């Protein structure tokens, strides 16, 4: 009879222990599932953060590249300005010297060639001195990149010549230069003073 009385209790206890064991297993299983979910969520956040950082890095890299390109452009422009300053910094000074060259040229042209004789030693010496001075100044001009424009017979070029008049000239092609009234000059390929010319036109 004792066994009959205690059996329900034992059965109840065993059932309770079994249920408790099942609950523990379920709790552990649920906990493991939660642990599995949490890393997945964290990984997602890390992936988003990584994508943001990569995008920011890309933007910073692009800005850096643009800054380098801008700096290189500024450097090249500055270098070009410095080079041009070296080449054309004497432009104003050269223009003033051109007037001196013009005076020397007119002086040598004005001396009567028939009077340049040994019988006129003073005139001959003066003339030869003027010619030598004119030659020397042209050497100095050439050394510094300043060249004469004496375009008789050449095609008229508005970048190098200034037309004072147009006139028909027999035997010459229209558009060519028949007469140079004033010599022009170029400084390192850039027209410093255009040649003043007369241009041939159709008859």
Half-sphere exposure of 108 (CA within 13 A, CB side): 15
Our measurement of the distance from residue 35's CA atom to the centroid of its chain's CA atoms, rounded to an integer in Å, reads 61
Distance of alpha carbon 94 from alpha carbon 99, whole angstroms: 9
CATH of 146-202, one of 2.30.22.10, 2.30.42.10, 2.30.110.10, 3.40.50.720: 2.30.22.10
- The model carries a pTM of 0.63
State pLDDT tens for residues 75-95.
Answer: 999 998 888 888 888 898 999
Handedness of CA 122, 127, 129, 130 (dihedral sign): positive
Band of the pLDDT at 202, cuts 50, 70, 90? confident
What residues does each domain of the chain span? 146-202
């Amino acid at each position: 009879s004792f066994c009959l009385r205690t059996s329900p209790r034992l059965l109840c206890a065993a059932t309770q222990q079994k249920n408790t064991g099942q609950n523990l297993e379920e709790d552990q299983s649920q906990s493991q599932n939660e642990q599995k979910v949490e890393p997945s969520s964290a990984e997602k956040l890390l992936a988003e953060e990584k994508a943001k950082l990569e995008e920011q890095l890309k933007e910073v890299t692009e800005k850096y590249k643009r800054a380098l390109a801008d700096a290189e452009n500024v450097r090249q422009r500055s270098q070009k300005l410095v080079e041009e300053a070296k080449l054309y910094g004497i432009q104003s000074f050269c223009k003033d010297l051109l007037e001196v060259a013009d005076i020397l040229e007119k002086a040598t042209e004005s001396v009567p060639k028939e009077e340049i004789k040994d019988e006129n030693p003073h005139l001959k010496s003066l003339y030869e001195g003027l010619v030598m001075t004119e030659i020397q100044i042209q050497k100095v001009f050439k050394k510094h990149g300043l060249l004469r424009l004496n375009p008789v017979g050449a095609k008229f070029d508005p970048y190098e010549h200034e037309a004072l008049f147009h006139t028909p000239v027999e035997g010459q092609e229209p558009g060519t230069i028949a007469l140079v009234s004033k010599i022009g000059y170029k400084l390192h390929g850039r027209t410093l003073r255009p040649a003043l010319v007369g241009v041939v036109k159709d008859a």
